[in-house]
Amino acid sequence: MNFQTTQPNERPIAVFDSGVGGISVLKHIHALLPNEQLLYVADSKYAPYGNKTAQEIQSRCFEIADFLIAKNAKALVVACNTATAAAIDEMRLRYNLPIIGMEPALKPAAAATKNGIIGVLATTGTLKSAQFAALLESYGRNVEVVTQACVGLVECIERGELHTRNTKSLIKQYCAPLLAESADTIVLGCTHYPFVRDVIAEIVGKEVVLIDTGAAVANQLKHRLELENMQSAQLQDALPKKPKVQFWTNSSADNAKQVISQLWGESADVLVF
């Protein structure tokens, strides 16, 4: 299934993550660019990336990018903060197509906070990255930033356990230090975390603003496609055929397709990667 087309602009956009978390970004892209064909790879066998070396993460990104480019992708979205920090510079040197990455939303959080205290929930890999350090240097000077690594939370979401007692317990544990420091704005610094946004909101209260970067990434992708004249030519008022969304996963879990469909919000076409 290579999505071959004689029209370059009708080629698909490819999105990948170290698992199912990037589906949260895919949903923003689908909403903003409803006429685009979409490909998604969930590298769940290797999730999370946070406990891997930069070289290991780069190797995974290259393998997935090669796979998606072979499927005729016109643009790549690295829907993973850790992978973006570890590999996006090398990917942009290696591949000649638009590559959009992620970064924790410290800039909008700094603009949103009223008391100057920002909390960041993220993976260990993201918090240890040079990219995060650079963001702190750029946007954290006039605010206090409290970080919290959320060990085990990605794995809960990978299993589709969004509202279980264990997941809620982990979230409560990880939010507690941020609330103890009076953070009034919390950054969801991993693409998996928007899927438990309602649980986080219930725990931290309505007064705390939650920020993720999915919508910003979709807007950046749209801007790049427009800039390079690569948007699909299908017009909504011309009643186009429904764009195809194809998923792949290398998860060994029996319920992998069920979890992907659960997070996508409808039955998903899932193949083995």
**Which among 61, 156, 175, 190 is annotated as catalytic?**
190
Out of 61, 80, 150, 175, the active site residue is 80
Q: How far apart are CA 88 and CA 92, in angstroms?
A: 6
SS3 of residue 126 by DSSP? helix
Listed in order, strand segments (DSSP E) in the chain are 13-17, 38-42, 75-78, 99-100, 117-122, 144-149, 185-188, 209-211, 245-249, 269-272
Residues found in the chain: 273
Residue linked to tokens 């996006």: 88
The answer to whether residue 190 is catalytic is: yes
- Rounded to 5°, angle at Cα 155 from 176 and 258: 125
Catalytic status, residue 80: yes
Q: How many CB atoms lie within 10 A of CB 271?
A: 11
Residues labelled catalytic: 80, 190
